[in-house]
Amino acid sequence: MIRVDESLSESMDLNTARAYLQKYYGYPDFREGQKKIVASLLDGRDTLGIMPTGGGKSICYQIPAMMRPGLTLVISPLISLMKDQVDALTTAGVSAAYINSTLSGKEVNERIRAARRGELKLLYVAPERLELDWFRDEMAELQISCVAVDEAHCVSQWGHDFRTSYLSVAPFVKGLPERPILAAFTATATPEVMEDMQRLLRLEDPQVFVTGLGRDNLEMSVLRGENKREYVLNYAASHRHESGIIYAATRKEVDDLCQRLQLQGLAAGRYHAGMSDEERASSQEAFLYDDIRVIVATNAFGMGIDKSNVRYVIHYNMPKNMESYVQEAGRAGRDGEQSQCILLFSAQDIMTQKFLIEQNPQDPERKHNEYRKLQQMIDYCYTTRCLRSAMLNYFGEAHDDQPCGTCSSCTDDRELIDITVDAQKIFSCIHRMRERFGVSMVASVLKGSRAKKVLEYGFDRLPTYGVMSGRTEKEISETVNVLISEGFLSLSEGQYPVVKLQSAAAEVLRGQREVMQRVPRPSRAASSASQRRSSRRDASPSAVNETVFEQLRLIRRELASREHVPSYIIFNDATLREMSVVCPQNEDEMLNVKGVGEVKFRKYGKPFLDFFLNQSEGDAHHDDPYEYE
């Protein structure tokens, strides 16, 4: 086990950091966002990094940890995350360990003694451990050069995973004999959560980096009006050799979908809070080790799952907020390969999420905030604008307004029609109803419903009563929600939101502005946007030799089984795909493949190199002109 390469420890600059990156991780250079964060930490600055899931946050503190004297203490929220990270580090030749509830007292003491002897560069612990007097006393005896806080949004009550134990980080750091550098990382944070992280973790004059939450390799889709069950079963069947996660809102839906997938002969598993700890651990491990290809889960699954080869994430229901959605969808394509993030939306999802908010006991202010975030999620589902731009706008990330060209909005080739007259009818009706009612009531009046409440309020006497009688109430409600998402209307916050007119609606009523909407072309009604995008992706040429790629995966699986680690810990899919293109013939060529570091090559490189050498010999043999004489 390598603790630190003394030959590289003289200079604390980025060139040295790049040498570590190449040696231990097999990459020649950092991504732009990583480079700035690593430089900040090497400069001894408190640092806050907001990076997308799969953006390489862990490297940002792991490389400085190897280079700096002393120990880096990593605050990590989940046992599975700690194990994953430590497995990856030790496989790469870096000395790291974790302390959590799965260890005996003897094992905990052994790891603390190893840290005391300077044998560890990184030690992972849960935030709850910082509250223990004996642990604080032990840590005070160590030279802790950095405290890295993963999933740092958990410190904020306005974040989507508030965890009170994260509030113990700042008092713990204050109690150390010498204050270490503080580094905080998360994948998703609104401006108010970012402010909370800096304040509650007591970061001192921190460098703050927000880097590209919009990942180019993810194709984002929102599909409305699909038969959800049929869509999921068909999609999983046509991608049976790829790893995927299907998120559903309730345990009942998880169990039903998993059973149906299994009946189709698919290697599927499930994960939710109603299962025993042993069942959940077994499902998660089977998914990580590729024993099952698809896992159906509630949002209880996923935080800290570093599985890099998840090719698709499908949301069977709309999540409760954008933070949850971006973090869950971001579990696709962590290796940089093209992946699909598909959200199947229906109006019933809104009622489900409102029910879940009401079932969760919380103070009125927090509940009010949950409803506000839910409405922002609904707006995302209805928007006709570029989904990536909508996401970046939500998180306040600066970006150009150029469409991504790959999301379901950008690739939507449905017919664009003028709905200005319908919009004027809706705006006029809302105005005459004195902006005091919700979407359903507005739709009922426009439809000309004889419902009891409509008649009680005398809305049947309004000039706008029944002016859209040729449309269903569902269709009218859909149009109203699109107008909300586009900023013509707004909704008040709370369980029973009221529709309000915005200034843009007044411009439409005065005839100063048009409103356009996309509708299905009659000749293509049977073809969904997702099918069109899928066929385009499948038809695109690729230099990857899929047969060779699958053979490399078999070699990797055998090595992973021998080492008792998930396959992606050996090499991820992106590395194997590059190998299948390059077909390395010697050590230098292998080390030039991204993801093949020196330590990993020594441990795992030979079987892959032998495969290519044998393949080359076989090709030479068959090219011999005398072979067939």
3-state secondary structure of 332: coil
Q: What is the CATH number of the domain that holds 331?
A: 3.40.50.300
Q: CB within 8 A of 538, min separation 6: which ones? A: none
Sign of the CA dihedral running 195, 201, 202, 206 = negative
| Cut 0.85: pTM above it | no
The number of distinct structural domains making up the chain is 4
Which among 482, 501, 518 is the end of a domain?
Answer: 518
Q: Which residue has the tokens 């003394």?
A: 6
Residues 177 and 250 in one domain: no
Alpha carbons 472 and 451: distance in angstroms, whole number: 14
Tens of pLDDT, residue by residue over 58-104, are 999 999 999 999 999 999 988 878 888 898 899 888 999 999 988 89
Q: Pairing state of beta strands 218-224 and 339-345?
A: parallel
Alpha carbons 378 and 28: distance in angstroms, whole number: 42
| Burial status of residue 514 (CB atoms within 10 A of its CB: 0-12, 13-18, 19 or more) | exposed
Q: CB within 8 A of 411, min separation 6: which ones? A: 405, 529, 532, 533
- Structural domain for 319, as ranges: 218-394
Tens of pLDDT, residue by residue over 397-409, are 777 778 888 999 9
- Give me the helix-helix angle, 420-432 and 473-485, nearest 10°: 90
Residue 334 falls within a domain, yes or no?
Answer: yes
Residues 380 and 311 in one domain: yes
Residues 503 and 378 in one domain: no
State both tokens at 204: 């001192």
Q: Which residue has the tokens 């093209």?
A: 338
Residue 140 falls within a domain, yes or no?
Answer: yes
Q: What is the CATH number of the domain that holds 480?
A: 1.10.10.10
Residues 328 and 477 in one domain: no
State both tokens at 56: 């390489």
For the chain, the helix, strand and coil percentages under 3-state DSSP, each to the nearest 5:
50, 15, 40
In 564-626, alpha helices (H): 567-570, 573-582, 587-591, 598-600, 606-623
Between the alpha carbon of residue 285 and those of residues 270, 531, 552, 564, the distances in Å are 12, 32, 22, 11
State both tokens at 160: 């989507």
| Burial status of residue 72 (CB atoms within 10 A of its CB: 0-12, 13-18, 19 or more) | buried
State both tokens at 487: 């900023």
Alpha carbons 423 and 163: distance in angstroms, whole number: 44
Residues 91 and 198 in one domain: yes
Q: What is the DSSP letter of 462?
A: S
Which among 160, 183, 210 is the end of a domain?
Answer: 210
State both tokens at 314: 């499908």
Do 464 and 476 form a contact (C-beta atoms < 8 A)?
Answer: no
State both tokens at 354: 């409102």
H/E element, 232: helix 228-238
10-residue averages of pLDDT along the chain (629 residues): 38 81 90 88 93 83 94 89 87 92 91 94 94 94 95 82 89 95 87 90 93 81 89 94 92 94 94 89 87 89 72 94 88 88 89 84 80 90 89 80 87 86 95 94 95 94 94 91 88 84 92 83 46 42 70 90 86 89 90 89 91 72 39
Residues 358 and 280 in one domain: yes
State both tokens at 517: 């909407």
Q: What is the CATH number of the domain that holds 562?
A: 1.10.150.80
Give 417's strand partners.
517
Between the alpha carbon of residue 24 and those of residues 10, 19, 66, 570, the distances in Å are 18, 9, 10, 12
Residues 485 and 450 in one domain: yes
Residues 165 and 64 in one domain: yes
State both tokens at 564: 């008792």
Would you tell me how many other CB atoms lie within 10 Å of the CB of residue 588? 8
Residues 296 and 160 in one domain: no
- Give me the helix-helix angle, 606-623 and 546-563, nearest 10°: 150
Q: Which residue has the tokens 């993030």?
A: 341
Residue 16 falls within a domain, yes or no?
Answer: yes
Alpha carbons 435 and 444: distance in angstroms, whole number: 15
- Find how far residue 220's CA is from the centre of its chain: 12
Look at residues 357, 54, 340, 356 and name the one whose alpha carbon lies nearest to residue 223. Answer: 340
Residue 443 falls within a domain, yes or no?
Answer: yes
Q: For position 521, what pLDDT does the model report?
A: 63
Do 550 and 543 form a contact (C-beta atoms < 8 A)?
Answer: no
Residues 233 and 365 in one domain: yes
Alpha carbons 31 and 209: distance in angstroms, whole number: 13
Alpha carbons 465 and 605: distance in angstroms, whole number: 74
Q: What is the DSSP letter of 513?
A: -
DSSP assignment string, 202-223? T-SS-EEEE---S-TTEEEEEE
Do 497 and 371 form a contact (C-beta atoms < 8 A)?
Answer: yes
Residue 400 falls within a domain, yes or no?
Answer: no
Tens of pLDDT, residue by residue over 175-213, are 999 999 999 998 877 788 889 999 999 999 999 998 767
Instruction: Compute φ and ψ for 520, nearest 5 degrees.
Output: -60, 140
Q: Pairing state of beta strands 71-75 and 96-99?
A: unpaired
Do 356 and 324 form a contact (C-beta atoms < 8 A)?
Answer: no
Residues 274 and 364 in one domain: yes
Residue 354 falls within a domain, yes or no?
Answer: yes
Residue 263 falls within a domain, yes or no?
Answer: yes
Residue 385 falls within a domain, yes or no?
Answer: yes
Residues 233 and 202 in one domain: no
Do 200 and 156 form a contact (C-beta atoms < 8 A)?
Answer: yes
> Of how many residues is the chain composed?
629
